[in-house]
Amino acid sequence: MRNHLDPIPAKDIFNKLTIEDLNIKGKRVFIRADFNVPLDDNLIITDDRRIRSTLPTINYAIDEGAKVILSSHLGRPKGKVDPKFSLAPVAKRLKRLLNKEVIFAPDCIGGQVENLVSKMNNGDVLLLENLRFHPEEEKNDEEFARSLAKLADVYVNDAFGAAHRAHASITGITKYLPSAAGFLLKKEIEYLRGAIDNPIKPFVAILGGAKVSGKIGVLENLVGKVDKVIVGGGMAFTFIKAMGYEIGVSLVEDSMLETAERIRIKLKDNKIKFYLPVDCVIAEHTGPDNVIKIVPTQEIPKGWKAYDIGPASVKLFSEALQDAKTILWNGPMGMFEVDAFTRGTFDIARAVADAYAMTIVGGGDTDLAVHRAGVSNFITFISTGGGASLQLLEGKELPGIAALTNRED
């Protein structure tokens, strides 16, 4: 019998090869990772979670005696070589995390790189320079993809955060090499698609962030699958205004008012419990001398803006999670980047962490929130993908997954 804390096995969800299905001993294995990590002004990595997330795949390939060729993008260099977007800091961090030498290539294609690859021994690790230093990467240029494929015998995609992009290193390269999923990509599919397709009920979805428009597809896809929907963050005020209430100068998408009301009615008609904030933390601005008030959401004065959910909303939302067996959370409850408005998001993070349920957190801001709240170790699974996780939750097929080699059995 399946425990509600366990994901659905990946083989029951997607019919793609994984790295374990490949014989990689002595082979050149091209691993597309997501090393798009934040750097400070001194080009020091401030958060290496994305690097750590793909270590199981890298270590497996090393242990199997493969020649490991790692690739990634970093930032948006717009197709030009820019030292501040170099993967050199990643090579340095990888060396420490793997406790072994990591060869750093000056480019990702070309004769110099091919020469470095030709000298690799089994178990060696080579990191290619930023793929996006070449405009052909994002254009999914066929010749560029062929040049990447020329470096390897097999391809492994472990970059879930980029799996929604049809780029040369994500989809183009798969035309020329046997292609499989890495452990991180497999795990992402297990949890995210598993939660949507076959959740243990009651299933509660918490959606936040700024805009309704970014979550419409998710809301539509959840109808018939979810038992409760909790909406916070800026997107809540589009729903609240659509119901006819004054929201001051709070964030709103006026073009989405009719859509928001349609979705609210649709959820109600499908007997899905729908929760909106009942109070909020408001201010006239976010400066250091700001005056903060907590008011019911129906009593926001003109000229004031809501920046966080209030304590009554936290209590309401937390109680709604009490009987949950699956919780999916995407999007913060307010502007938690500002100290005065952290409480709502952090309190919900703690409520999710305390729940006796399979808890899945998706989206970069939500990922950051659970770490800053100090509860990341108590979340079942934290997705590394922002746009990719949203598309998957919308029920869309990601190009990077569709391009992988199908399992024959």
Known catalytic residues are: 50, 211, 364, 387
Beta strands 292-296 and 279-283: pairing type? antiparallel
Q: How far apart are CA 162 and CA 166, in angstroms?
A: 9
Q: Which helix (H) or strand (E) holds 186?
A: helix 183-197
Short-list 116, 92, 114, CA closest to 102 = 92
Interatomic CA distance for residues 317 and 311, integer angstroms: 10
Distance CA 278, CA 264 (A): 16
What's the rounded Cα separation, in Å, for the pair 334 and 233? 5
Distance CA 211, CA 237 (A): 9
**Six-digit token string for 4:** 């509600």
Check if the beta carbon of residue 173 is closer than 8 Å to that of residue 155. yes
- For residue 404, how many other CB atoms are within 10 A of its CB? 23
Helix (H, G, I), strand (E, B) or coil at 391: helix
- Using DSSP's 3-state secondary structure scheme, residue 115 falls into helix
Residue 236 identity (one-letter amino acid) = A
Cβ neighbors of 216 (< 8 A, separation 6 or more) are: 256, 259, 263
Helix H or strand E segment including 68: strand 67-71
DSSP-derived letter for residue 76 is -
